[in-house]
């Protein structure tokens, strides 16, 4: 049995004002149920009794987990792969525009199988890439001849070194969020930028699917953020959010998976419509987008 972490206080702000929201099924690996809790103070939601940092690795071991296996099994994963190249190009443009640099020194944390890191390297950036999962590191080496470092190396890197630090859907997986954020601050150059992309449980698609919302992804997603929570985390670390950008494709991908989890099979029309409505609502307020990119400075 894996060791678990039981929170009696909010793991983000330390408040005692935490309460159970609902239980969510791990649809990818274990098919166990985990409870989602809510903090009334900082608005974060978190997975209660998640596996510890040393035992959570087993919950990533599935050929269906595309970010670690690069699988093309199933139509949803094939659609994901089709959109990936476009998304990577958009991320490249965003990093260059926000930093004002054509090339520089990049730290990519949670690189998965390495597609973004490879793209930035080919574009002339010096790239340090970290990935906790050994299987994903092996895929990156086999497919890209890319050597990814274990994520523990983050704490051995030289300070004031990186022009850009990127976490594409990674922070929600990190056990010690505050330690990571304080480390990023030390690693950034004075004009460097931190890019954090995370799901947003206040989005329309999250509300529509409730406990079946795929971006809860228990127990791999330890935290479930809102823009308010991210703002508080950055302020506490002495950082500031300078821009918020939408991730338009995520609402469709997450809605397709959510529909499958809720109904047993995908209701294509309903899932597409949900994603469309979610994006429409976010057009007037990006903080309502299914997934959000935060651009952060010292």
Question: Which residues are CB-neighbours of 80 under 8 A, at least 6 positions away?
Answer: 66, 253
pLDDT, residue 64, reads: 58
Is the peptide bond preceding residue 219 cis, with omega within 30 degrees of 0?
yes
pLDDT, residue 150, reads: 95
What is the architecture, at CATH level 2, of domain 63-211+239-297? 3-Layer(aba) Sandwich (3.40)
- Listed by start position, the domains of the chain span 63-211+239-297
- Pair 212, 261: CB distance under 8 Å: yes
pLDDT, residue 1, reads: 45
pLDDT, residue 68, reads: 46
User: Which is it for the CA torsion 208, 210, 213, 215, positive or negative?
Assistant: positive
Report which of 82, 15, 160 is spatially closest to residue 74, judged by C-alpha positions.
82
Q: Is 241 helix (H, G, I), strand (E, B) or coil?
A: strand
Question: Which residues are CB-neighbours of 171 under 8 A, at least 6 positions away?
Answer: 177, 180, 196, 198, 223, 225
| CA–CA gap between residue 277 and residue 96 (Å, rounded) | 30
Query: What b/e string do you get for 95-131 counting C-beta neighbours within 10 Å, with b at 16 or more?
Result: bbebbebeebbbbbbbbbbbbbbbbbbeeebebbbbb
- Pair 109, 167: CB distance under 8 Å: yes
Q: Model-level pTM?
A: 0.93
Pairing of strands 105-109, 126-130: parallel
| CA–CA gap between residue 230 and residue 215 (Å, rounded) | 17
According to DSSP, residue 169 is labeled S
Task: Measure CA of the first residue to CA of the last residue in the chain; give whole Å.
Answer: 42
Q: What DSSP line would sit under 70-116, residue for residue?
A: ----SHHHHHHHHHHHHHHHHHHHHHHHHHT-SS-EEEEES-TTSHH
What is the helix (H) or strand (E) element at residue 190, kind and residue range? strand 188-199
Token pair belonging to 192: 């460097």
Mean pLDDT of successive 10-residue segments in the chain (298 residues)?
87 97 96 98 98 92 56 59 84 98 97 94 96 90 92 96 98 97 98 98 98 98 98 97 97 96 96 98 97 98
């Amino acid at each position: 049995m894996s060791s678990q972490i039981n929170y009696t206080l909010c793991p983000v702000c330390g408040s005692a004002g935490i309460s159970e929201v609902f239980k969510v099924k791990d649809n990818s690996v274990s098919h166990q149920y985990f409870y989602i809790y809510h903090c009334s103070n900082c608005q974060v939601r978190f997975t209660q009794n998640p596996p510890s940092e040393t035992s959570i690795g087993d919950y990533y071991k599935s050929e269906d987990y595309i970010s670690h296996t690069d699988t093309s099994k199933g139509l949803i994963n094939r659609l994901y792969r089709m959109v990936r190249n476009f998304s990577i190009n958009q991320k490249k443009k965003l990093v260059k525009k926000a930093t004002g640099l054509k090339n520089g020194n990049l730290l990519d944390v949670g690189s998965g199988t390495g597609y973004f890191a490879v793209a930035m390297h080919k574009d002339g950036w010096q790239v340090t890439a970290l990935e906790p999962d050994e299987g994903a590191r092996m895929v990156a080496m086999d497919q890209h001849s890319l050597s990814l470092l274990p994520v523990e190396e983050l704490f051995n890197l030289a300070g004031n070194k990186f022009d850009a630090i990127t976490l594409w859907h990674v922070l929600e997986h990190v056990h010690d969020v505050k330690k990571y954020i304080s480390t990023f601050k030390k690693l950034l150059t004075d004009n460097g930028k931190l890019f954090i992309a995370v799901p947003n449980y206040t989005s329309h698609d999250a509300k529509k699917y409730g406990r079946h919302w795929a971006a809860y992804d228990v127990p791999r997603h330890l935290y479930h953020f809102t823009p308010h929570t991210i703002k508080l985390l950055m302020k506490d670390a002495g950082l500031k959010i300078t821009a918020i950008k939408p991730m338009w494709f995520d609402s469709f991908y997450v809605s397709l998976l959510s529909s499958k989890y809720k109904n047993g099979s995908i209701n294509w029309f309903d899932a597409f419509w949900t994603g469309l409505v979610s994006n429409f609502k976010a057009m007037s307020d990006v903080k309502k987008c299914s997934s959000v990119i935060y651009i952060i400075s010292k």
